[in-house]
Amino acid sequence: MSSEPKTVFVGLAGLGNVGAGVYKNLIRNGDILTDRTGVRIKVKRIAVRSLEKYTDMQIPEGMLTTDWRDLVNDPEIPVIVELIGGVTEAYDLVKTAILAGKTVVTGNKALLAGHGYELIALAEQEDVPLYFEAAVAGGIPIIKAVREALIGNHIQAIYGIINGTTNYILTRMSDAGLSYEDALGEAQALGYAESDPTLDVNGWDAGHKAIILAWLSYGDWVKPEQVYVEGVTHLTQTDLKFARSMGYAVKLLGVIRLDATNRIEVRVQPCLIPQTNIMANVHGVMNAVAVYGDIVGETLFYGSGAGQNATSSSVISDLADAVDNLTNEAGDNNGFVPQGHYGACLPVDETVSRYYLRLRVDDRPGVIASISKIIADHGIGILSLQQPEVDPGADADLMLMLHQATFGKMKQAVAAIAGLECVLAPPVLLRVESLKAREG
């Protein structure tokens, strides 16, 4: 019979959806974690905003506090889990914890995207590990995959469906014909959305994750203001149906890749991707991240991108690394990723892809001629063109698939088209991605 395992105490800041999952699942799978790590991982204190909310969770007396400093100042707690969300207070908490010599586990992608450069440098300076598996793609171990499993590769490109809420919305709109609002309501009820779902639907939750993936891949931080982000709020059934009829699915895609001059392209946009690509069949809350390495080729990581259990699985994995590092003298898994500087970015206007363009137009002679003239004048080729028949006098949808062009050139053409009298509503422009290691 082996001796009683050592206990490592954890301070849990935040008992929302994910925090509650961490608390419950650490108890549920505590024995197997102890078997595997040789350590009993125990939550000692939990910081919450209001004590009253948690009466039905059977939290032991005295465990809750409304001040996260009680966790950081407790000498018996070497590990702090930050799951309070938001940026301002989370930044104070993480910085204070690092300066107090605590190991930090966070799932806060907005915090890392905005302050990762500084916090990682501080953690290195203080020689304190900082773990963040739950910050990207929920339950998918993509941080470990890129940082550890693909360590011998130059990363050529990453394409990610990295927001569960928007993938759920697009799936339900496309498969069940739900309105955008109803689909969002379902995603919120299922606990996928951020407390403020604006960050999900405007694309920024995915944008923050893309910044973290870019840093992991290239060692450089891209500033949020250098990232081009579009959400899904402007997508309609019409576009999803048109896309499907041509053999494409519409997905909110994070694109992270290097161009030939080593500039980093980081953007998030709803894109048409071929139905024949496995990524097009990633439905509901599921996420998928395709990573191209120069040695390994294409790899694909798939799993639940949001939700209590999936995300808590990633936090618990970080906790296992944290206690290993704390208790094992040979432990060297300190969570650091080399970081250089703020990297050179490829301006979005110079990024290249094919495009889908839908226009609401008058159905009368000369409309297609005037639109195609503008497109030709901008040096862009038309791949195909469709206009479903409408009753005489009714407005029509004109849908064009366009050859490769820079985004800058494409936007100029669309602005000119939007100014035509025959164009009755703001044009819908979506990128078409081939999901290859290099575009082109």
Binding-site ranges for ligand HSE (CB under 6 A): 138, 163-165, 192-194, 200, 205, 305-306
CB of 200 to ligand HSE, least distance (A): 5
Judged by CB, which is closer to ligand HSE: 206, or 367? Answer: 206
Residues near 329 by Cβ (< 8 Å), separated by ≥ 6?
none
CB of 232 to ligand HSE, least distance (A): 12
Instruction: Decide if 221 contacts 116 (C-beta within 8 A).
Output: yes
Coil/strand/helix, residue 353: strand
Judged by CB, which is closer to ligand HSE: 165, or 317? Answer: 165
Judged by CB, which is closer to ligand HSE: 198, or 328? Answer: 198
CB of 233 to ligand HSE, least distance (A): 15
Q: What is the dihedral angle through the alpha carbons of 56, 59, 60, 66, rounded to the nearest 10 degrees? A: -110
**Residue 340, Ramachandran bin (φ over 0: left; ψ between -120 and 50: alpha; else beta):** alpha
Catalytic residue among 102, 109, 144, 209: 209
CB of 13 to ligand HSE, least distance (A): 17
CB of 156 to ligand HSE, least distance (A): 25
Judged by CB, which is closer to ligand HSE: 231, or 305? Answer: 305
* CA–CA separation, 347 and 227 (whole Å): 8
CB of 68 to ligand HSE, least distance (A): 21
Judged by CB, which is closer to ligand HSE: 129, or 164? Answer: 164
The candidate with the shortest Cα–Cα distance to 85, out of 212, 208, 213, is 208
* CA–CA separation, 269 and 256 (whole Å): 12
In the block, which residue shows the tokens 């130059």?
A: 154
User: Is 241 labeled as catalytic in the residue annotation?
Assistant: no
* CA–CA separation, 270 and 429 (whole Å): 9
Judged by CB, which is closer to ligand HSE: 161, or 322? Answer: 161
CB of 173 to ligand HSE, least distance (A): 15
Instruction: Decide if 375 contacts 382 (C-beta within 8 A).
Output: yes
* CA–CA separation, 59 and 45 (whole Å): 10
Instruction: Decide if 18 contacts 87 (C-beta within 8 A).
Output: no
Element (H, E) at 33: helix 30-37
Instruction: Decide if 138 contacts 303 (C-beta within 8 A).
Output: yes
The candidate with the shortest Cα–Cα distance to 228, out of 265, 261, 199, is 265
* CA–CA separation, 101 and 74 (whole Å): 12
In this structure, what DSSP letter does residue 53 have? G
Judged by CB, which is closer to ligand HSE: 117, or 192? Answer: 192
Q: What one-letter code names the amino acid at 183?
A: A
Catalytic residues: 209
